[in-house]
Structure 1
């Protein structure tokens, strides 16, 4: 049985998003998903102070370390697999972080057009 290769929004194999901090629904460094990922953690974002504050105000504290969940807390510049709905909310609020297209899952295109995602492509 061969395992299906996850693709990014460019139609290429998905590149890991971050191993430090370790991200992804499966905590494997990649923004992979399956039917158990109700939040759809698809977007590899480079978080900013403005986005972290926005997320906190929406009830999702990504700043405070939570050792019981092996979560170190995020700081600006960290890469993290975000839920597509939260990234879209941040877009509407003018605080969407930049993203790594090669590390953003193809299923993000079901919610956000590629042209929009490309406007937020992080430079190396």
Structure 2
């Protein structure tokens, strides 16, 4: 069973659109998922523009501002590293309860918390 960043059962992220590497609505990330689609993001127009500028136009998958989507850790981190500050809308907000613990292979929990909509989930 996949677990979130708090080592708790992974929460459902989105069924509209149906997201996840396995298209189950969860940000499951089996070892076969080389892209590590672990981050439960809420995309913004700024992130969609950023991702398209890096060669992955998520709008082709039907995503629009506010959609919940399981993001590749590397792309989220790329946006995080390119941010102008912690209010920069190019970095998607995330749902920690629905973010797979595999995200912690590439990003720190304290960095994820800066953009979390559920900062207090799972305790500290």
Unaligned runs of 5+ in 2: 84-89, 119-124
Distance 1:110 1:39 in 2: 12
User: Does structure 1 residue 97 correspond to structure 2 residue 92?
Assistant: yes
TM-score by length of 1: 0.87
Q: Secondary structure at the match of 1:90?
A: helix
Q: Please show how residues 1-124 of structure 1 align to structure 2 within 5 Å.
A: 5-64=1-60, 71=61, 73-94=62-83, 95-122=90-117
Distance 1:51 1:37 in 2: 22
Higher-Rg structure is 1
Q: Kindly state the Cα deviation for residue 92 of structure 1 after the two structures are TM-superposed.
A: 1.1
Paired residues of 1:44 and 1:82 also in contact (CA < 8 A): yes
Q: State the number of aligned residues.
A: 113
Paired residues of 1:46 and 1:122 also in contact (CA < 8 A): no
Q: Secondary structure at the match of 2:104?
A: helix
Q: Kindly state the Cα deviation for residue 36 of structure 1 after the two structures are TM-superposed.
A: 1.2
Per-residue deviation, residues 67-101 of structure 1 (Å, max 9, x unmatched):
xxxx4x10111000000000000101112110000
Unaligned runs of 5+ in 1: 65-70
Distance 1:62 1:96 in 2: 14
In angstroms, what is the RMSD of aligned CA positions? Answer: 1.3
Runs of 4 or more consecutive aligned structure 1 residues displaced over 2 Å after TM superposition: none
